[in-house]
Amino acid sequence: MEKRVVRVGLMGFGTVGTGVVRIISAHQEDLQKQTGLGIEIKKILVQDAEKARSIRSMENMLTTDPAELLENPDIDVIVEVIGGISPAKEYILGALEHGKHVVTANKDLMALHGAEILSKAQEKGCDVFYEASVAGGIPILRALVEGFSSDRITKMMGIVNGTTNYILTKMSQEGAEYADVLKEAQALGYAEANPTSDVEGFDAARKMAILATLGFRVPMKLEDVDVKGISSVSKEDIAYGKQLGYEVKLLGLARRDGEAVEVSVQPTMVPKSHPLASVNGVFNAVYVHGEAVGETMFYGPGAGELPTATAVVSDLVTVVKNMSLGVNGRGMVAPYKEKILKDDSQKLSKYFLRIVVADKRGVLAKITQMLADKNISLEQVIQQPYNNGSQAEIIMITHLSSKSDMDSVRKDMEQMEIITEVKSCYRVEGGDQ
C-alpha cells in the first residue's frame, strides 16, 4: 500500500489545529524524509466556515459538514482537536468505522471512553494515538508504552494541570491568597472563566486515569480516581509547608503495591528536595518509578498551541510510518491486567494536619494519644499561639498512616470539644518507597 501522500482530515481549527497546520507546512521536507511519504491536509472541519482565520491559504478546505471528512475516501487519517465528549466521540468512532486512523488530543474522551475507542480501532485494524492528551509537549505516553516496556512501573506522580500549578506557584512565591491569584490567572488567560474542571482536579484526574491505564496496563476508569482540588488551599498551609520543608502541589498519584492499585489527585506536600517540587508555573512533569529503572522524571510544557500540536504531528508521523510499513493497529497494548483497587486501609501516606485547639494544658497530649489509638504517630509537630493567644494552632506531619485511619481521625477530631477546627489535612509525599 505505497502511496505518495497521506491525506489528513483535520477536525477543529482553533489554536491547536492552527499549530498542526503550521508544523506540517513548515516541516514538510523533514516529515517526508522520515516517513518516506508526504503529508497533506485535505479538509478541515470548522463550526463557522466564514470566520476569519490566521491561515488564509486553507480557506478552500474548510467545511462544516463532518461527512465530508468521515466519508471521504480520499482521507486516510483523522486528526481530532475539537475536544469534549460529543460530537468528538461520534466523529472518532465514525472515522474508525470508515477505516481511517485517528490522532487525538482529547483527554476527556480518552479518559472516559478510551476502552471503547481502542477496541473499535483494534477491530478495524486502525491506529489511535493520543500523546497530546496528557502533558502536552512531553512524550510521556511513548515512554510508558515503549521506553519502559521491559520494566514494572510501581508509581507515577504527575503535575499534569498547568492552571493549578501556576496558581500554587504564585501563592508560594508571593504569599498570595488563592482567590486573588485565580483572578489574576483568569485575566492572563491561564485559567478559564469557569475554572472548576482545573481547580477541582477533574482535568488532572482524567490525565491520571490515562497514565495509570498505560503504565499499569490495567483498565482504570475516571471514577476510580480519588479527586480533591486546590480551592481550599490557603496561604497559611503553603507557609507552614515551607517551614517544614515542603511545597504544596496538586499531585496526581498512581501507585501499585503487589497487584493492588490506587489513583488520586489531591493537594500534596512535596519535599523540596524532590524533583517535582521545583516544577513551577504552567509547566508539567511526570515522575515515573520503575522497579528496575528507579526514579525518572519527564518535564515540559503541558499545554499551548505549538507544544500540543507537536505531540499531535509526532503521532501523525507514527501513523504515516505504520502506513508505509503496513502495520497499523498494532501500536498500543490494550490493558490486559485485572483491575484490583486498593481499599482505604491499604492506601498508606504521611499526612499534614493543621488544627486549631483550645489553649489548655494537656491538649497536645490528648490529641497525640487519640492519634496513637488509631496507629498514627507523628514525625514533626509545631504548636503556637493562635487568635491572640486565646487558642493554639497545631501543625503535624504524621508517619505513614492509612487513609481509612486518617479519615476516621478527622471525623473524631470534629467531635472533640478541645478542637475548635480542623483547618486542613493533606497527603505528604515520601516515606513509601
In the set 42, 124, 207, 350, the catalytic residue is 207
245 binds a second copy (CB under 8 A): no
Euclidean distance between CA atoms 24 and 323, whole angstroms: 17
Pick the binder of a second copy from 8, 96, 254, 317 (CB under 8 A): 317
Euclidean distance between CA atoms 330 and 322, whole angstroms: 9
| Run of H or E including 83 | none
Pick the binder of a second copy from 5, 30, 281, 360 (CB under 8 A): 30
* In the complex, minimum distance from the CB of residue 18 to a second copy, in angstroms, rounded to a whole number: 12
Residue 12 among known ligand-binding residues: yes
Residue 187 grid coordinates: 485575566
Residue 99 among known ligand-binding residues: no
Which residue in 275, 283, 248 sits closest to 159, CA to CA? 283
34 binds a second copy (CB under 8 A): yes
336 binds a second copy (CB under 8 A): yes
* CA angle at 172 for the pair 166 and 173, rounded to the nearest 5°: 90
207 part of the active site: yes
Euclidean distance between CA atoms 87 and 281, whole angstroms: 32
Considering only 40-48, 243-251, 310-318, 358-366, which stretch makes contact with a second copy by CB under 8 A? 310-318
Residue 300 among known ligand-binding residues: no
Per-residue contact string for residues 141-180; x = within reach of a second copy by CB under 8 A: -xx--xxxxxxx----------------------------
Number of neighbouring beta carbons within 10 Å of residue 75 = 21
* In the complex, minimum distance from the CB of residue 27 to a second copy, in angstroms, rounded to a whole number: 6
Pick the binder of a second copy from 221, 321, 374, 410 (CB under 8 A): 321
Residue 228 grid coordinates: 480533591
358 binds a second copy (CB under 8 A): no
Residue 16 among known ligand-binding residues: yes
430 binds a second copy (CB under 8 A): no
Which one-letter amino acid corresponds to residue 282? Answer: V
361 binds a second copy (CB under 8 A): no
The CA distances from residue 258 to 143, 243, 275, in Å, are: 22, 35, 26
Residue 348, phi then psi, degrees to nearest 5: -100, 130
Residue 148 among known ligand-binding residues: no
* In the complex, minimum distance from the CB of residue 342 to a second copy, in angstroms, rounded to a whole number: 21
3-state helix, strand, coil in the chain (%, to 5): 40, 25, 30
Pick the binder of a second copy from 33, 51, 56, 361 (CB under 8 A): 33
Euclidean distance between CA atoms 44 and 82, whole angstroms: 11
Contact 35, 24 (CB under 8 A): no
Site for a second copy in 265-294 (CB under 8 A): 275, 278, 283, 290-294
Residue 215 grid coordinates: 503504565
**Which one, 23 or 261, has the nearer CB to a second copy?**
23
Pick the binder of a second copy from 115, 260, 297, 416 (CB under 8 A): 297
End-to-end CA distance of the chain, in Å?
50
21 binds a second copy (CB under 8 A): no
Euclidean distance between CA atoms 429 and 433, whole angstroms: 10
Site for a second copy in 105-144 (CB under 8 A): 131, 137-139, 142-143
Residue 14 among known ligand-binding residues: yes
Q: How many residues does the chain have?
A: 433
Residues in binding contact with a second copy, number by CB under 8 A: 55
β-strand partners of 227? 265
Positions annotated as catalytic residues are: 207
The binding site for L-homoserine comprises 192
Q: Which residues bind a second copy (CB under 8 A)?
A: 19, 23-24, 26-27, 30-31, 33-34, 131, 137-139, 142-143, 146-152, 217, 275, 278, 283, 290-301, 304, 306-307, 309-311, 313-314, 316-318, 321, 325, 327, 330, 333, 336
